[in-house]
Chain A
Amino acid sequence: MNAEESYEIRLKVNGRTQHVTAPARRLLSDALRGELGLTGTHVGCEHGVCGCCTVLVDGAPVRSCLTFAVAVQDKDIRTVEGLAAGDGELHPVQEAFKECHGLQCGFCTPGFLMTACALIEQNNDPTEQEITEAIAGNLCRCTGYQNIRAAVRRAAEITRSDKR
């Protein structure tokens, strides 16, 4: 059996365009982690249920383990490495997860951060119900979610105070 055909794929990740040569079946999660070395995006189940691999594609949370890299060419991809500002200042969701002890082992955390980021950037004053709905597709085995909910609430609060 011979090697399969490879494609030159333009991936715009965290504002920077990079070229990846990979077969059509290469998952976005694997391309980010393997080809681009962006290992902050984690893979927890490879069937789109746990949410660890969540990245933002054109601002919306997407499961990178269910997305082929070739399918998101030229789209605006944002990963956990692109959350903090250029000067290293943490994004409100990062700050809030630290402050509220919203993470323990940290494996699911990038997925929660990206999911929460998508929520907060669209709605900086979410209700409890909106917070629950936003993060209800991400699994965490360590925290029991209580401090994650608190962190999302706090991130919204930080975002609102930043805007004043």
Chain B
Amino acid sequence: MTPQNFGRAIRRTEDDRLVTGRGSFTDDAGSTGLSLTMIRSPYANARILSIDVSEALEVEGVQAVLTYSDLPGRLVEPLPLLIPHPSLVAPRTQYILANEHVRYVGQAIVAIFATDRYVGEDAAERVIIEYEPGEAVVGIDAALGPHLVHEDVPGNVAADHSEHVGDVDTALANASHVLELELNMERSMGSSLEGRASHATWDRHSRKLRIQNATQTPTSVRFAVANILEIPDEQVEVFAIDVGGGFGTKVIHPWPEDILTAWGAIEYDCPVKFTEDRVEHFISSSHERAQRHQIKVGFDEEGRILGLDVDFIHDNGAYTPYGMIAPLITATQLPGPYKLPNYRVRFRSVYTNTVQVTPYRGAARPHAVFSMERTIDRIAAFLEIDRAEVRRRNFIQPDEFPYDLGMIFQDGRPAIYDSGNYPELLEKVLSMIEWDDFPERRSQATPGRRRGIGVACYVEGTGLGPYEGGHVRVETGGKVQVSTGLASSGQGHHTVFAQIVADELGVPFEDVEVVTGDTRRFQYAVGTFASRAAVTSGNAVAEAARLVKEKAISIAADALEANPDDLEIVDAQVQVKGTTARGIPLAQVAVLANPLRYSFSEAARAATQFAGAGDLDEPPVKPGEDPGLEATGWYSPVRATFASGAHAVEVEVDAATSEVEILRYCVVHDCGRLINPMIVEGQIHGGVAQGIAGALYEKMAYDEDGNLQNASFMDFLMPYCTEIPEVEIDHLETLSPLNPLGIKGAGEAGVIPVSAAIAAAVEDAEGFQINHMPLFPSELHEMRAIGVDEPN
């Protein structure tokens, strides 16, 4: 195969629709039927004493007002625990509507079905709820205190998990030096500009429940809805046409509103829509990523790490629908690109009366990298060795792959790095940012400002299983239709999967049309998360295209009376290798692939029963064959493939305002073979922007009663273009040996090391330790006064 499309910065096929207002987001689906409005708890911890809905029912346009006691069948059960784990000793998931108790501000209590959202909100004002408030558990300190979030979960501990390799105690005892660190990271959240949304219609004639849902995982939404409503899977169709950003939040499912809209569509026999507003996104979807890390590191005189002992607390909010995946990722990704012969990690995941915590882009890897990189910088400072040099001395070397960490990764499989070149990543990024010349630049800082430089490296497990599938079908008109089950939320899947299929099959890119995330087209899938879509669905559609090619060549060989081995497909024509003179268009092969009784076109006559084709002693469709020029391919990786990268940043801190200005931001990124460099770089730009947001701007500001004080874009400081610098990018392409395309995931990478790199740069500028993120100017100002990072 000579790649014509793979590796090229081809413009996206998605864009024509999206720039002309013809996108199809969930809220764009019809405006007839009913709108779902939720009433949410104003208390972080309270018993519900009574709910009076009578006045709300009087509002014209209100169809129904439901509380927990009105829910039928399996709707009374807690929502599913998506990912169980043996260490998750006390998982808790929320009810669709609160059952006697609310445990965070924002928890759904009442569901109102009304003709539109305006009417629904009028009705909501007329519902009277009596509460008996209790003590709110907010923040990690409170979680370790006497008050309980769930009465039956002692110590608020949802999960207690430990893993180790080697003998950490002996390593620390024998180390020349031992340092201890305490690091804190705050909460932020996905904040996709499209909130959660679901639109359900019930076709009572065909008995189909059709759900357009803003989800990263339509197939799983389908199974969950069918299961809870106790109807056959076959009656439920779920599709995500355009999703306005996911970032992990939209992998969580089913949301209470997903079930209520679906149930309501059947019950009231009309379309039902729920569209989350911005306040709801803040207080009733998911957050990430508050963690507190205690680290003990032992090292030798050269800065080589001999033992690393990490104990951290993860604040999981009020519920654990996604299990303990986020802290498990921190634990297993913490070693990064470094050799840790003796590593022990323990975490406790604890309940608080706050919004649930589930993975957000990067998925607790930023915490892991912050821990490891801050530790290395501390070793360098202690030994007075260049920070880059300490990294070099601890790297896993290019000839040491596959490298087994000795731990179990988030896919339940061994964490074994498949390939990489960490020393080269670092050298490249140091050269980009001109690391060695920095002392000179430091002295050239703007008067009144302090200049600093930082670097951070990471390894990211991507492209994990269990599997994805792809279907490729050549139409008799020549179009190639491709589908895969996972959904898209801006990653350019329609473009990159078409690039892959066009090359594998030998057709023009323009002839390939891709559909993602539609259970009507592809029923089995896992979903878009963990930087896995390109790796898993990419390899699956490639496999499907190869199978179609094989079939096309076999059919064409019969028609051309040629040896299949002598045939190739070039520009949608099956031909004898090296000649266009003896060939047959792929569209015509598609006709021949489907033996016909009834012709539908001039071309189709060739496949009809009196056309004289085929061996009359054989059935028209031979045993073991299927009609149609189509195939399904699967890709199920044995384990994750590990991408990597290094970031370097130069900053200036204003002496008067303590504002941090980023002067240069450099990224070297290795995600194996690049399918479309333009799209990969776009993913990195966006990731870095979210990383900067988490490092310098964003925090979920809870008060002690559990009210989220900044639940609006007025107060939550999501960066505008004024806060985000240009990002300079270079690539390495270390192929993955685990998949035929040699690719690794790229979606989350940009965000992962940003906090670590910026902390290092600010520390370098200021000369005192930076131990927490995000870092606000007001805090920096205070820290300057006392010369140390002592977060409150």
Contact = CB atoms under 8 A, between A and B. Distances in A.
B712 to A, nearest CB: 6
A104 B192 contact: no
Contact of B278 (A46, A90, A113): A46
A148 B60 contact: no
A147 B278 contact: no
Interface stretch (B25-33, B128-136, B323-331, B606-614): B25-33
Contacts of A25: 118
A107 B192 contact: yes
Nearest to B246: A105
From DSSP, what is the main secondary structure of chain B's interface residues? loop
Contacts of A103: 15, 18-19, 490
A40 B277 CA distance: 18
A140 to B, nearest CB: 7
Contacts of A101: 11-12, 678-679, 681-682
Nearest to A22: B118
B256 interface: no
Contacts of A46: 277-278
Given A104-B492, A113-B19, A143 B686 contact: yes
Interface in B1-45: 11-12, 14-23, 25, 27-28, 31
A40 B712 contact: no
A132 B489 contact: no
Contact of A141 (B192, B278, B688): B192
Contact of B244 (A83, A107, A146): A107
A66 interface: no
Given A50-B713, A142-B245, A84 B20 contact: yes
B682 A147 contact: yes
B687 to A, nearest CB: 8
A45 B280 CA distance: 10
Interface string A94-111: 100111010111111110
B58 interface: yes
Contacts of B69: none
A34 interface: yes
A149 interface: yes
B718 A106 contact: no
Interface centre among B16, B23, B243 (most CB of A within 10 A): B23
A71 interface: no
Interface residues of B, number: 62
A42 interface: yes
B490 A136 contact: no
Interface string A1-30: 111000000000000000000010110000
Interface centre among B714, B724, B727 (most CB of A within 10 A): B724
B513 interface: no
A64 interface: no
Interface string A126-138: 0000001001111
Contacts, number: 177
B247 interface: yes
B261 to A, nearest CB: 17
B244 A145 contact: no
Interface in B236-264: 242-245, 247
Interface centre among A38, A83, A98 (most CB of B within 10 A): A98
A139 interface: yes
A54 interface: no
Interface centre among B11, B682, B722, B727 (most CB of A within 10 A): B682
B194 interface: yes
B685 A143 contact: yes
A42 B193 contact: yes
Given A98-B15, A139-B718, A44 B21 contact: no
Top 9 nearest A-B pairs by Cβ distance? A40-B21, A107-B244, A105-B490, A106-B18, A144-B689, A104-B490, A144-B685, A49-B713, A39-B28
7 contacts: A40-B21, A44-B193, A90-B20, A98-B16, A99-B11, A104-B490, A144-B724
Interface of A: 1-3, 23, 25-26, 33-34, 38-47, 49-50, 52, 79-81, 83-84, 90, 94, 97-99, 101, 103-110, 113, 132, 135-149
Interface of B: 11-12, 14-23, 25, 27-28, 31, 58-61, 116, 118, 122, 126, 190-194, 242-245, 247, 277-278, 489-492, 678-679, 681-683, 685-690, 712-714, 718, 720-722, 724, 726-727, 750
